[in-house]
């Protein structure tokens, strides 16, 4: 009965961003992260930030879903501002750091909202395929990465249930002060991980009984073709790399 505004859960609607090729989406995401980590240029950061906002609107996922994450992390942004102020870092750099953080987090949210679990596995597998010559268990790695990404929503679902049951027995999380909230969080911590451990065990057993073999390569029915919008989006991302190279004067 809980609303679907959790971090990392897939939001099933038809949109331009949903229709993008998952491999291209993942490559775009990697480009975004790498360039933002490497550069401290304000214009590149603003450009990336605007591109992220455009993608947010094109994904047809309600903006308040994205805003919730921003609101949730408000204290972290405030801490960054205070630290920068304390270390005498100028205003432009402070803005760059905050923009970086917001862009990466919101981009990750766009990726998780618009890419289904099976598409994510497919994308990770294909993106890592150049490392095939090393005989790495890529399927296993892809599934593990995906499980890590989807672990947080699972944890959140269990948490909601436990909080509800605690509320019904007199320990209401939503109508108490911060000290009691900390007490409740510490109290449910152990149980929460135990519930999730049981769930993961069940998933593992289910896949085992369905003769799932992680070592074997799986066939894929999906034909992820590269379309017009894929080219448009990757062009924008390549523009960022080119601008970065030009600013650094590498070429």
Instruction: Give the rounded distance of the alpha carbon of 72 from its chain centre.
Output: 15
CB 215 within 8 A of CB 139: yes
Please tell me whether residue 165 binds other proteins under the rule CB under 8 A. Answer: yes
Nearest to 101 by CA among 86, 81, 85, 120: 81
Q: HSE, CB side, 13 Å, CA atoms: give it for residue 141.
A: 13
Please tell me whether residue 185 binds other proteins under the rule CB under 8 A. Answer: no
DSSP readout, 14-58?
Answer: --HHHHS-HHHHHHHHHHHHHHHHH---HHHHHHHHHHHHHHHHH
Which of 47, 60, 77, 229 contacts other proteins by CB under 8 A? Answer: 60
Please tell me whether residue 210 binds other proteins under the rule CB under 8 A. Answer: no
Which of 116, 147, 167, 196 contacts other proteins by CB under 8 A? Answer: 167
The residue range among 41-49, 103-111, 158-166, 237-245 that interacts with other proteins, by the rule CB under 8 A, is: 158-166
Please tell me whether residue 200 binds other proteins under the rule CB under 8 A. Answer: no
DSSP 8-state assignment for residue 73: T
The residue range among 31-39, 84-92, 94-102, 171-179 that interacts with other proteins, by the rule CB under 8 A, is: 171-179
75: CB partners within 8 A, 6+ apart: none
Given the complex with other proteins, which of 35 and 158 has the nearer CB atom?
A: 158
Please tell me whether residue 172 binds other proteins under the rule CB under 8 A. Answer: yes
The residue range among 8-16, 21-29, 49-57, 242-250 that interacts with other proteins, by the rule CB under 8 A, is: 8-16
Please tell me whether residue 10 binds other proteins under the rule CB under 8 A. Answer: no
Please tell me whether residue 171 binds other proteins under the rule CB under 8 A. Answer: yes
Supply angle C-alpha 151, 24, 216, rounded to 5.
Answer: 60
Given the complex with other proteins, which of 57 and 212 has the nearer CB atom?
A: 57
- Here the contacts of 211-219 (C-beta below 8 Å, separation 24 or greater) are 214/137, 214/139, 214/140, 214/143, 215/137, 215/139, 215/140, 216/139, 217/139, 218/139
Please tell me whether residue 12 binds other proteins under the rule CB under 8 A. Answer: yes
User: Site size for other proteins, by CB under 8 A?
Assistant: 28
Given the complex with other proteins, which of 197 and 248 has the nearer CB atom?
A: 197
What residue ranges bind other proteins (CB under 8 A)? 1-5, 11-13, 60, 62, 158, 161-162, 164-172, 175, 187-188, 191, 194-195
């Amino acid at each position: 009965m809980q609303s679907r505004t959790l971090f990392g859960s897939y939001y099933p609607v038809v949109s331009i961003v949903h229709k993008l090729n998952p491999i291209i989406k993942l490559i775009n995401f990697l480009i975004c992260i790498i360039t933002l980590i490497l550069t401290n240029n304000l214009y590149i950061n603003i450009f990336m930030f605007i591109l992220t906002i455009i993608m947010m609107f094109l994904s047809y996922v309600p903006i308040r879903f994205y805003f919730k994450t921003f609101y949730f992390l408000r204290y972290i942004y405030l801490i960054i501002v205070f630290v920068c102020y304390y270390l005498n870092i100028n205003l432009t750099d402070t803005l760059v750091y905050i923009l970086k953080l917001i862009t990466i987090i919101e981009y990750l949210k766009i990726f998780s909202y618009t890419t289904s679990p099976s598409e994510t596995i497919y994308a990770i597998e294909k993106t890592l395929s150049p490392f095939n010559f090393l005989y790495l268990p890529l399927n296993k790695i892809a599934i593990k990465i995906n499980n890590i990404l989807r672990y947080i929503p699972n944890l959140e679902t269990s948490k909601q249930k436990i909080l509800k049951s605690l509320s019904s027995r007199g320990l209401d999380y939503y109508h108490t002060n911060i000290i009691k909230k900390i007490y409740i969080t510490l109290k449910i911590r152990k149980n929460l991980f135990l519930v999730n451990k049981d769930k993961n065990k069940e998933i593992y057993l289910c896949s085992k009984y369905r003769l799932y073999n992680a070592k074997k390569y799986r066939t894929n029915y999906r034909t992820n073709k590269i379309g017009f919008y894929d080219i448009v989006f990757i062009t924008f991302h390549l523009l960022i790399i080119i601008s970065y190279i030009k600013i650094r004067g590498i070429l």
